[in-house]
Structure formats: C-alpha cells, structure tokens
Structure 1
Amino acid sequence: MSRRTDYFNDPSAPKANSIVPAVTAFVVNDAGAVLMERRSDNGRWGMPGGVQEIGENIAGTVVREVREETGITVEVIGLVGIFTDPGHVIAFADGEVRQEFSLCFRARPVGGKIEVSSESLEVRWVPRSEVDYLDMSPTTRRRLEEGFRESPVPRIS
C-alpha cells in the first residue's frame, strides 16, 4: 500500500531533493468533530490536503484538496500554522524526497457529503475524544493539537 514513507528526525532518512508548497485543512463541524481521512498512500489517518498547483492561490488549494479527497466543500477562515521542520522528510516511490513545507489552514464546512476518493480509504468526522486513538504521523498529531488549541496566533515552526 505504501507509496510514501515519512521520516521524523531519523538519521537514516534519505536526503531531501525538493521542497513543495503544500496545505492541510483543519476542518471542524458544528458538533466539534474534525474531518479526517485514512490515506491510501500509507494507510494512516490525516487531515485532507495536498500541493498547490500553478494558477491557484493557496486558499483555493485548500478548498480543492478537501473537496477532491473528502467530498466536503469548505471555506478557509484562518491559519493554524506554518510547518517547515527539516527533520521531517517524505520519500515517494518515484524517488522524490520532499522536505516538509506545509501550511495548515482552519476551514469550516459549507456543503457537500463525505465521499471516499482514490487518495483515501476512509473519510469521516472524528470526535475529538477519538483522535488520540487513530494511527497518524507525529506531524499530523502536532497540527491537530495546534488546531484544537485555537490560538489567534499561527504556529510557525
């Protein structure tokens, strides 16, 4: 299943050969549950997101990626944080090894219905009380913690 491998402060990690602007979306519904997907590229849980494409602004990237991966339409309402830890690299099956550069945005659902895509094995609203029990990367967990903190000042790391 794995088409990507995440490394976290691992001395045996391959050396990064790219940096690509990417987004994740911290989307919480009126019941306080967060939108999560079990990713098809590594089987772990994460927030919807992806890379910015030429010709779109970064908020448009968030809206597009969330809709493509989950079926939910969102409105971007803020920034959770900017995450650029050089100790987090992602090795892809095609030989790309990407250093983390991810902007995590706060968004609210405005429409749509949950749908599984080719990028997700499962999509659901996860109550905050269940988040700690999901298998996810340390960087996803950190973004979720920052999102739930609801600080008016974005985290920059």
Structure 2
Amino acid sequence: MTIHGPADGWVESPDGRRFWGRAGAAGLLAVDPDDRVLLQHRAEWSHFGGTWGLPGGARQFDESAVDGALRESGEEAAVPGESLRLLFASELDLGFWSYTTIAARVRTPFTAVVSDAESLELRWVPRSDIDTLPLHPGFATSWPGLSAHLDTDLHLVVDAANVVGSRPDGWWRDRAGAATRLLGDLSAAIDGGLPSALFVDAPASGPGAPTSWWPSTTVVLEGEARQATGPAEGLLVDRADADGDAAVVARVESILTSSEEARVVVVTADRGLAARVERLGADVVGPTRLLDALVRT
C-alpha cells in the first residue's frame, strides 16, 4: 500500500518537464546470483506508464538516497534490505531535482511481490535482455553506464599506521586511541558510501556513472594500534601479528587471486609498500585522499 507523505509531489523544471519527488527520488538496481535485474512494469496510469524501470520513488525529507531506495523497493516489491550487498550509487543531479540509483548484489535470493498499485508486474530480467524491453526513459539513458560497473568487485585496503601518522593530532601519545578514531570515522563514512574520487583520479562521468561506492574494506593495524576498540561496522580489521606491511601485501594477494573481477585500492604513502602492492596489480592512493573523503562524508 502506498502512503503519501509531505515529499510526494511534482517538481517542474525551467523547461516545463515534471519530476516526481519534492526531495528528489531514488531507485534500487538489484542484481541476483543469476545475473538478473529486478524490474518493475509500471502501471499505465503512472508517469511513463507501461514502461519498465527500477523499483523506487520519492525520497522523504531528511532521508538518505540509500534509505529511500530501500524503503521504496520494500513497499513496492517486498525487497528485504538485509538480503543485499550495496555496490555503488549513481546520482543524477539537475540542481532543482535529483535521482539516485543504488546498485546492489543479492546475497540471499528472495521472491519479489507486487505490493501496491504502481506495478503491473515485477520480473527478474537477464541483463542481456533488458534492452529488448520498453524502458522508462530515465532508466534507458542510465542503463549502459550502470551496467558497465556492475561487475566491479571493489576492495579498499587501509594501511592504518600510515594514515594515522599522516595527521599531526598527537596520535603518538595514544596509538590505540588514534586507530579507534580512524575505525569509527571510516565505518561511519562507508555507511553512506565513499566518493568515487577516492578510488580514481578522474571518476567516470555521464548517465549511470558511479558517484560513490561501498567497497569491501580491510584495515590493517599493527603494534599498539592493535588494541583499538569501538565499533567497526562494515570493516574487516586485520590485527597484524608483526609486520603490518606484510599483512597488507598478503591481503592484496589473497583478494586478487580469489576474484578475477577484483580491483584493489591500497591507502598508503609508504613507497616501498606501494611498489610491492602495485607489482601485484593493486592501485595506490595517499592518506590525504582518504582523509578528505572522510571529511566530505
């Protein structure tokens, strides 16, 4: 059942086009283990009725794009948010209105159920067949860009000692406390997605291009920093027995040998470590780029 809220309504562009959602809108691009995408056949009475698009709709005021996409897909298609692993977000920002696509992989298969009058049908469509359907114009424009990034298996490996040591905030007086702060900041930032600019010098642009990512993230702690405590939701914390650099290299090697689609980005300013992981096939960014991303999020 659809319950209309204060953010439900049309926004009109300067050229007279109308867009649904006074606070913008968001949709969910869910890909299941059989490489099928969940699509909604839109009711005839709806905007661009009869076309196929993503479950989604208007965001509420003070609601994040992720929360909006998960709420709307739950209301329209009974999508259980806990069954998903978020991949990336792609935001179309027109200034006066925005639409954010949240791309996710289905970890636990589920049955989509038509839950309101906005859908004629819900269908898991093979990716190769999507272009054969009459698509919602917005989805048709963004689909090539979205599809190009769905197979990217992005990993972030953080050399915590190097990152903590890059900011003169007295970390040397309490190494475990400084590491705890880093874990907390990184966990909070990942919850909302990390900006694409963290991972590449020139992020892809255009319809469907990712604007933020939810990478699988490992933080390597060494020495006194291994005593770090506090929440680290969304992070794998590797408390190295001895050499932190060796633990970083081992983690990178493990990821790259286990997934052909894996792309690994290591955060460090240590030239020796950078050279070692680059030889394995990883990319390297400096601590400042990560710290800037944490501030922006």
| TM-score (normalizing by structure 2) | 0.40
Alpha-carbon distance between aligned partners in 1 of 2:113 and 2:145, rounded to the nearest angstrom: 26
Partner of 1:107: 104
Aligned-residue offset at 1:124: 0.7
Aligned-residue offset at 1:138: 2.9
Unaligned runs of 5+ residues in structure 1 are 1-12, 87-98
Partner of 1:94: none
In structure 2, which of residues 20, 23, 31 is the aligned counterpart of residue 20 of structure 1? 23
Aligned-residue offset at 1:57: 3.1
Partner of 2:37: 34
The size of the alignment, in residue pairs, is: 136
In structure 2, which of residues 73, 79, 100 is the aligned counterpart of residue 72 of structure 1? 79
Bigger RCO (CA 8 Å, 6+ sep): 1
Aligned-residue offset at 1:120: 0.6
Alpha-carbon distance between aligned partners in 2 of 1:79 and 1:155, rounded to the nearest angstrom: 14
**Structure with max Cα Rg:** 2
Matches within 5 A, 1:115-130: 115-116=113-114, 117-130=116-129
For the 8 Å contact 2:23–2:60, the answer to whether it is kept is: no
Alpha-carbon distance between aligned partners in 2 of 1:104 and 1:155, rounded to the nearest angstrom: 14
Q: Percent identity?
A: 24
For the residue of structure 1 that corresponds to 2:132, the secondary structure is: coil
Unaligned runs of 5+ residues in structure 2 are 1-14, 155-195, 197-203, 208-297
- Is structure 2 residue 137 aligned with structure 1 residue 138? yes
Distance 1:125 1:24, change over 3 A: same
Aligned-residue offset at 1:142: 2.5
Alpha-carbon distance between aligned partners in 1 of 2:205 and 2:89, rounded to the nearest angstrom: 6
Quick check: which one's helix share is greater?
2
In structure 2, which of residues 92, 109, 126 is the aligned counterpart of residue 83 of structure 1? 92
Q: Structure 2: which amino acid aligns with 1:66? A: S
In structure 2, which of residues 59, 73, 78 is the aligned counterpart of residue 52 of structure 1? 59
Question: Once superposed, what is the RMSD of the aligned Cα atoms?
Answer: 3.1
